[in-house]
Each structure stands twice: as C-alpha cells, then as structure tokens.
C-alpha cells in the first residue's frame, strides 16, 4: 500500500537542523506544560533516553504514515536478537494449545491495520510534548485467526501476552493482559510487518501484538507466548505500572490504562502564502472525528480546521473499513497573526458521537496516563 501526502502536507526536513532560511519557513510550536520547560529539551531527551523512552520530535510529524526510522521508542531496554528458525509462538490455555513457527504464522491469512500507536503516558507532565504517538501500517494474522487454528479460545475469557525480552532480576519478560472482549473489539492482530517490511528488531521482530485503539503498553514486542486465562491477568505491569486513580462517589480507585481517549495535537506551523499553515492530527475516542477547532488566542475564539480522514489522505486505502477504524485524522488551518509576537495555540477534537476534547485535566483522575486535555502550544511570530 502506498501513501500520499496531500498538496500542502508538511513532508519537510527535520527541524532540528534549523537554518536561518528554514527558520522563516517553519515556526516552532513550544509545549506549554511539562518537564522540558524546566530542564530544557536536550537534558530532558538525555534523561529519558536512559530509561529507553525516546520521543520523536513532534515537528517531524507530517506524513500520514510515520516512517519506521525515527519512530518513538518505549521499552525496558533490552532488545532480544531472535533467530527466526528457532522462534516459536506458544498459545496456551485455549481449546487445543499449540506452537507456531514463523513460517506457519506467515502462511496464515493476514490482516492489515492502519493504526495509531500511542504510549499511555504520551503528553503527560513528564513528557510535555506529544512525541510518543505515531501511525503505522501493520500486517499479520489476526488474533481471531490464531485462536481458530487452536480450536477456539476454549474456557479462556482473558489473555496474557508475554515478550521474550529478558528483565531479570525483576521479571522473566515483559507481559500485559487484556480481556478477550477488548481484544475482539479492537480487532487485535499479531503483526509480522510494519510499513511494508518485516518488523525491525527494536519494534519486536519477529512478532508483536497490535491492539488498535488501546494504548501501546499492550502491544507486546518479541511476542513469545499467549496465555489463555479464566480471570484477568494480575501482572505487575497491569496492576502496578499502567494505572491511574479515579474518584468515584468520593473514593479513589485504581484504573488500568486502556482505550485511547479523544485527542488532537498541533504539530507544525509552516510558511504558506503571506501567512502560515498550522497542521496537526486528531485521534482516539473510538468514534470518528467530526471536527477539529483551533484557537490562536489561548481559547478566546475557536475556528474549524479542514479535516481529512484516512480514506482521503491515503493513496490506496485498504477496502475493509475495519482496517482504518483507529487511524488518525489530519487537519490544517491557515494562521494569519495580526502582528509579530507570541501566540498561544490549541486544538480541540470533536467526535461524531458529540464528545469534545476537554480544555482542562479531569479533577477526578490522578496519574500519568491517558492525558487528553488540550495540548497548548506557544509560537513566536517574527516580524516580516
Ligand atoms: N516486550 C515488550 N513489549 C513492549 C514494551 C516492553 O518494554 N517490552 N513496552 C511497551 C510500551 S510501554 C510501549 S509504549 C510500546 C512502545 O513501542 P515502540 O517502542 O515500538 O514505540 O511497546 C510496548 N511493548
Ligand atoms: Mo508506554
């Protein structure tokens, strides 16, 4: 499948290498919240690199499908080197447990998914920016196909997915669990390919779970074992790491990260005619994005952007609408600042089911995950 950028889509070079000439072609959108504001972008990047958390600079967004090179990274450091001839995917706790070789996985009917992948902590107060999100084209057998090849799920109502990345002394490997109902609603697949090539090693070669619509802590890389269970997986990462607290009837209760909430982000501000064009993405929320409103004055007034869905921005979209259900929307809107100076920009997604991206954090939620409120950006417009 090929992808196209629409006419003024910003498939522009890396903004890190800003020259004076380029500076007038693009303005930097600075996150208003987050740790980089306090410690500086460079130190922030270095600090987070030590925990294998690497954002892609938000300004490199622009392509409908994020190039594999430069894709954000988030893992527990160790990237196992897996020999494809020795590799096995074991499926246990189902009607007829069995293993698959890589060739057997490749021989099964494959499903394509064009989908957003987003770390549950994207855009939180540690990160500030919005660089732990990307969109890829993934392909491999669906989980349903694999389960059929095992005689069905049997008694299993939940599944745990185990990675082959070693994590001793902490745990033997990374693992995450979801219910069969969630996996079915998401249309989960076991991805063998990403953006038209076999998965690179850092992305989980030879197989990774992909759960469209659910945050990517569940997209287990270097997938080695699928364990059918008759109760929710009570794993360390499920219960203690990817959790927020939510206040219900006055009581704070733990809540595991799950479905990606309705969001949008302004990504680039590019020279356009005698003014500027703002570009961004909107995603999440489970329903189609209906509208994206943009403010140039810190939220006093809002203006509807032009919004393009995946069937428009992809050259050759897959025929099956399921393949695109969790793809992002692209938006753009002209920006004509009345004078040089500093402007506070923000974007706000509105979904077809009427839900609106909130302006402020929810006072009934505490934690680092599923941060959905408007991602404010400051921009300094130079004199012409
Ligand atoms: N085996 C394994 N899978 C993993 C992880 C990991 O540490 N080990 N990290 C998870 C988290 S928290 C995220 S956000 C995504 C990141 O995927 P990426 O590094 O391909 O961007 O992988 C998920 N899958
Ligand atoms: Mo993550």
Spell out which residues have Cβ within 5 A of ligand 2, the ion: 74, 119, 217
The per-residue pLDDT for 125 is: 73
CA atoms within 13 A on the CB side of 191: 33
The per-residue pLDDT for 12 is: 43
- Pairwise pLDDT comparison (12 vs 196), residue with the higher score: 196
The per-residue pLDDT for 378 is: 96
Q: Are 210 and 115 contacting, i.e. CB atoms less than 8 angstroms apart?
A: yes
CA of 216 relative to ligand 1 center, distance in Å: 7
The per-residue pLDDT for 128 is: 66
Q: How far is CA 191 from CA 3, 27, 90, 208, 319, in A?
A: 19, 37, 15, 5, 19
Measured distance CA(302)–CA(296) in Å, rounded:
8
Closest ligand relative to 55 C-alpha: 1
Cβ of 220 closer than 6 Å to ligand 1, yes or no, is yes
| Least confidently predicted of 1-5, 101-105, 362-366, 376-380 | 1-5
Which atom of ligand 1 lies at the shortest distance from residue 119's CA?
Answer: 14
Cβ of 87 closer than 6 Å to ligand 1, yes or no, is no
Give per-residue pLDDT as tens, 34-71. 777 788 878 878 887 877 788 887 767 889 999 998 89
The per-residue pLDDT for 40 is: 81
Measured distance CA(30)–CA(129) in Å, rounded:
8
What is the arithmetic mean of pLDDT over 71-94?
A: 92
Which atom of ligand 1 lies at the shortest distance from residue 118's CA?
Answer: 14
Res 1 pLDDT > 50:
no
What is the arithmetic mean of pLDDT over 230-237?
A: 96
The per-residue pLDDT for 58 is: 73
The per-residue pLDDT for 23 is: 54
Closest ligand relative to 216 C-alpha: 1
Domains of the chain (ranges plus CATH)? Answer: 69-256 (3.90.420.10)
Give per-residue pLDDT as tens, 313-358. 999 999 999 999 999 999 999 999 999 999 999 999 999 999 999 9
The per-residue pLDDT for 49 is: 81
Measured distance CA(110)–CA(112) in Å, rounded:
7
* Unique residue bearing structure tokens 């991805």: 191
Q: Ligand 1 pocket test: which of 70, 123, 216 has the largest number of ligand atoms within 8 Å of its C-beta?
A: 216
Q: Is the pTM of this model over 0.85?
A: yes
Number of other residues whose CB lies within 10 A of the CB of residue 334: 14
Res 6 pLDDT > 50:
no
Number of other residues whose CB lies within 10 A of the CB of residue 240: 9
What is the arithmetic mean of pLDDT over 202-212?
A: 97
Measured distance CA(277)–CA(269) in Å, rounded:
6
The per-residue pLDDT for 166 is: 80
The per-residue pLDDT for 8 is: 39
- Paired sense of beta strands 89-92 and 30-31, if any: unpaired
- Nearest CA, atom 19, ligand 1: 73
The per-residue pLDDT for 121 is: 93
CA of 61 relative to ligand 1 center, distance in Å: 20
- Nearest CA, atom 13, ligand 1: 217
Cβ of 118 closer than 6 Å to ligand 1, yes or no, is no
Which residues are within 8 A (CB) of 135 and not within 5 positions of it... i.e. 6 or more apart? Answer: 64, 65, 66, 114, 115, 116, 117, 281, 327, 328
Which atom of ligand 1 lies at the shortest distance from residue 163's CA?
Answer: 1
**Reduced 3-state DSSP string for the chain:** CCCCCCCCCCCCCCHHHCCHHHHCCEECCEECCCCHHHHCHHHHHHHHHCCCEECCCHHHCCCCCCCCCCCCEECCCCCCCCCCCCCCEEEECCCCCEEECHHHHHHCCCEEEEEEEECCCCCCCCCCCCCCEEEEEEEECEHHHHHHCCCCCCCCCEEEEEECCCECCCECCCEEEEEHHHHHHHCCEEECEECCEECCHHHCCCCEEECCCECHHHCCCCEEEEEEECCCCCCHHHHHHCEEEEEECCEEEEEECCECCCEEEEEEEEEECCEEEEEEEEECCCCCEEEEEEECCCCCCCEECEEECHHHHCCCCCCCHHHHCCCCEEEEEEECCCCCEEEEEEEEEEECCCCECCCCCCCCEECCCCCCCCCCEEEEECCC
CA of 218 relative to ligand 2 center, distance in Å: 8
- Nearest CA, atom 6, ligand 1: 75
State the pLDDT confidence band at 170, using cuts at 50, 70 and 90: low
Res 117 pLDDT > 80:
yes
């Amino acid at each position: 499948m090929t992808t196209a950028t629409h006419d003024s889509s910003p498939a522009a070079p890396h903004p890190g290498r800003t020259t004076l000439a380029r500076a007038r072609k693009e303005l930097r959108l600075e996150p208003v919240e987050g740790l980089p504001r306090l410690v500086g972008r460079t130190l922030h990047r270095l600090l987070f690199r030590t925990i294998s958390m690497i954002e892609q600079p938000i300004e490199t967004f622009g392509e409908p499908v994020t190039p594999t090179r430069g894709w954000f990274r988030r893992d527990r450091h160790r990237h196992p080197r897996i020999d494809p001839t020795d590799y096995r995917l074991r499926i246990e706790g189902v009607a007829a447990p069995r293993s698959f070789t890589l060739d057997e996985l490749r021989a099964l009917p494959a499903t394509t998914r064009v989908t957003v992948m987003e770390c549950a902590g994207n855009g939180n107060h540690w990160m500030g920016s919005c660089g732990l999100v990307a969109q890829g084209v993934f392909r491999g057998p669906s989980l349903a196909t694999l389960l059929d090849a095992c005689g069905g799920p049997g008694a299993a109502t939940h599944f745990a997915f185990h990675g082959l990345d070693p994590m001793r002394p902490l745990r033997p490997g990374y693992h995450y669990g979801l219910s069969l109902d969630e996996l079915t609603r998401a249309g989960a697949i076991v991805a063998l390919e990403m953006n038209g090539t076999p998965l690179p090693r850092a992305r989980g070669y030879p197989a990774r779970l992909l759960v469209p619509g659910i945050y990517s802590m569940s997209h287990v890389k270097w997938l080695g074992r699928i364990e059918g269970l008759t109760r929710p997986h009570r794993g360390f990462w499920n219960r203690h790491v990817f959790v927020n607290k939510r206040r219900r009837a006055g009581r704070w209760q733990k809540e595991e990260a799950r479905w990606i909430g309705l969001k949008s982000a302004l990504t680039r501000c590019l020279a356009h005619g005698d003014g500027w064009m703002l570009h961004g993405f909107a995603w999440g929320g489970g329903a189609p994005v209906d509208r994206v409103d943009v403010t140039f004055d810190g939220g006093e007034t809002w203006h509807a952007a032009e919004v393009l869905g995946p069937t428009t921005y992809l050259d050759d979209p897959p025929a099956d609408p399921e393949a695109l259900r969790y793809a992002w929307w692209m938006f753009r809107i002209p920006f004509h600042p009345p004078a040089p100076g500093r402007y506070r920009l923000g974007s706000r997604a509105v979904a077809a089911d009427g839900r609106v991206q909130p302006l402020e954090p929810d006072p009934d939620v505490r934690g680092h995950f599923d941060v959905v409120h408007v991602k404010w950006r400051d921009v300094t417009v130079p004199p012409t």
